[in-house]
Amino acid sequence: MSKLLFSLCLLASLPLVSCSTVLNNLPGVYSLEIQQGNIVDQAMIDQLRPGMNKRQVLYIMGSPMLADTFHQKRWDYVYSEQPSGNKDRVQKRITLIFDNDQIIGMQGDLRPSAIPVVKASNEATVDVPKRDLDRTLWEKITGVLGYNGSDNVAKKEPPNPKPAGADDDTPH
Domain range for 83 is: 32-120
Longest dimension (CA), the chain: 140
pTM listed for this prediction: 0.50
**Is residue 21 situated within a structural domain?**
no
**Is residue 137 situated within a structural domain?**
no
**Is residue 9 situated within a structural domain?**
no
CB atoms within 10 A of CB 142: 14
**Is residue 65 situated within a structural domain?**
yes
- Give the pLDDT score at 58: 92
**Is residue 71 situated within a structural domain?**
yes
Q: Pairing between strand 74-82 and 102-108? A: unpaired
**Is residue 155 situated within a structural domain?**
no
pLDDT over 80 at 11, yes or no: no
What digits encode the pLDDT tens for the residues 15-55? 666 555 666 666 676 667 777 777 888 888 888 888 899 99
Number of domains observed in the structure of the chain:
1
**Is residue 1 situated within a structural domain?**
no
Q: Which long-range contacts (CB under 8 A, 24 or more apart) does 101-105 make?
A: 101/53, 101/54, 102/50, 102/51, 102/52, 102/53, 102/54, 103/48, 103/49, 103/50, 103/51, 103/52, 103/57, 104/50
What digits encode the pLDDT tens for the residues 72-124? 889 999 888 877 666 778 888 899 999 999 999 999 888 887 776 676 778 88
**Is residue 90 situated within a structural domain?**
yes
CATH number (domain holding residue 96) = 3.30.1450
